[in-house]
């Protein structure tokens, strides 16, 4: 499986200092908070929530339709936690204003865009390919987020149901990316509203940026120089690919702006030996995708699959220099360390405190320093994936 440009070469920063701290358990957010992007809904005209009798609303459900490599998001799908703006002209005014902002529902993509006016001369909802300041999809390195407006309604009062609304085919991929990244955010393993505990307030959160448009052929990698993920036009078909490349960014964010020096990684393969630095970073990104989606495989945009281990369960040749072995071992260790439910948040906390150059350093040095086992079941796990220290 050739993943030749999963990481573009770029500069790195000094790695995080070792802490030597004891194991620290990090609880995930509760189900409601974990699925909700922090946001204060802005309703123009009141300075706060409007009374139902004095507001006008456009409601509906945001969806997308795009190719589905895995068969887990076929047909019309909701776009969850996507940002919207209610744009309209209040009665008696002559100019269009942004009357309210918010995000679509974390469960089903529905929205209720309300303004604190009894009537609007005209109104529409603009959706953008971002989720507040947590993640976004832009059309080019210096381009804007993708957006589309619903049809404009005139003489609007009360509640107007727009039904199901969807982006055009040329921007649908951006909204699939937005929705897919929820899956990683919901499992980010920290009570901070940000991606990691290194930032604690929404104003300081690092923002995950994906560069994609419907015509580009440049994609399928993460750049340490820009810290952006780049996806080609057909890449959003694969949620594994989206989450794999986001996984590189996530490792960089966990390391608070440092990334290991990677050599011998162009090309690289899930099932073939490369270098220990390549296998570590690519294996971690594969483990992110596999853990979040609940499997151990890489799925290309065309639907073809390369598993992280051979059909009989045996490892690929190459030990810790083969990314499939590293990915499968990490997923099993995450589940072991997480106990009942297999929660990886403790491992993410450990990883975020000690930057590792390769899997050996993570296993031999970091795990004991944070109270995680390297014997017994943990040793059996890495041995079963062809790794022996």
First to last CA, the chain: 27
Backbone φ, ψ for residue 255 (5° rounding): -85, 5
Tokens of 346: 């403790």
Question: Is 292 in a helix, a strand, or coil?
Answer: helix
Within 13 Å, how many C-alpha atoms sit on residue 290's CB side? 29
Question: Is 61 in a helix, a strand, or coil?
Answer: strand
Cα separations in angstroms, 327 against 141, 186, 372: 30, 20, 18
Residue 89: count of CB within 10 angstroms of its CB: 19
Backbone φ, ψ for residue 181 (5° rounding): -65, -20
- Quickly tell me which residue has 């309300």 as its tokens: 114
**In 55-170, where do the E strands start and end?**
56-64, 77-78, 83-90, 97-103, 110-115, 119-128, 130-131, 135-138, 147-149, 153-157, 159-165
Longest Cα separation, the chain? 75
Give me the DSSP letters along 334-352.
Answer: HHHHTTTTT--HHHHHHHH
Q: What is d(CA 196, CA 182) in angstroms, rounded to the nearest whole number?
A: 15
**Inter-residue contact 56 to 86 (CB < 8 Å):** no
Active site residues: 245
Residue 151: count of CB within 10 angstroms of its CB: 8
Helix (H) or strand (E) holding 123: strand 119-128
Q: What is d(CA 175, CA 178) in angstroms, rounded to the nearest whole number?
A: 5
């Amino acid at each position: 499986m050739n993943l030749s440009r999963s990481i573009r070469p770029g500069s790195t920063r000094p790695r995080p200092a070792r802490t030597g701290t004891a194991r620290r358990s990090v609880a995930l957010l509760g189900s409601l908070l974990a699925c909700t992007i922090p946001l204060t809904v802005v309703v123009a005209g009141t300075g706060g929530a409007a009374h139902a009798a004095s507001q006008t609303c456009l409601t509906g459900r945001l969806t997308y339709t795009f190719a589905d490599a895995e068969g887990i998001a076929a047909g019309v799908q909701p776009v969850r936690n996507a940002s919207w703006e209610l744009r309209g002209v209040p009665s008696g005014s002559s100019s269009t204003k942004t009357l309210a902002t918010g995000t679509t529902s974390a469960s089903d993509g529905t929205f209720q865009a309300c303004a604190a006016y009894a009537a609007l001369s005209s109104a529409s909802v603009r959706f953008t390919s971002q989720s507040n300041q947590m993640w976004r999809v832009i059309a080019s390195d210096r381009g804007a987020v993708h957006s589309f407006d619903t049809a404009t309604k005139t003489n609007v009062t009360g509640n107007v149901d727009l039904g199901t609304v969807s982006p055009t085919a040329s921007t649908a991929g951006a909204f699939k990316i937005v929705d897919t990244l929820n899956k990683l955010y919901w499992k980010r393993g920290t009570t901070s509203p940000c991606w990691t505990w290194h930032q604690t307030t929404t104003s300081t959160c690092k923002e995950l940026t994906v560069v994609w448009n419907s015509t580009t052929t440049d994609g399928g990698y993460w750049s340490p120089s820009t810290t952006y993920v780049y996806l080609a036009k057909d890449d959003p078909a694969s949620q594994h690919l989206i989450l794999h490349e986001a996984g590189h960014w996530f490792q960089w964010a966990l390391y608070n702006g440092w990334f290991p020096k990677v050599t011998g990684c162009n090309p690289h393969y899930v099932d073939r030996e490369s270098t220990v630095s390549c296998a570590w970073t690519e294996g971690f990104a594969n483990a992110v995708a596999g853990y979040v989606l609940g499997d151990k495989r890489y799925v290309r945009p065309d639907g073809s699959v390369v598993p992280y281990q051979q059909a009989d369960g045996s490892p690929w040749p190459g030990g810790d220099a083969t990314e499939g072995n590293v990915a499968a071992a990490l997923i099993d260790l995450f589940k072991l360390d997480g106990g009942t439910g297999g929660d990886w948040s403790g491992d993410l906390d450990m990883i975020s405190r000690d930057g590792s150059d390769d899997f050996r350093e993570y296993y031999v040095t970091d795990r004991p320093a944070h109270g995680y086992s390297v014997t017994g079941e943990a040793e059996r796990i890495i041995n079963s994936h062809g790794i022996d220290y």
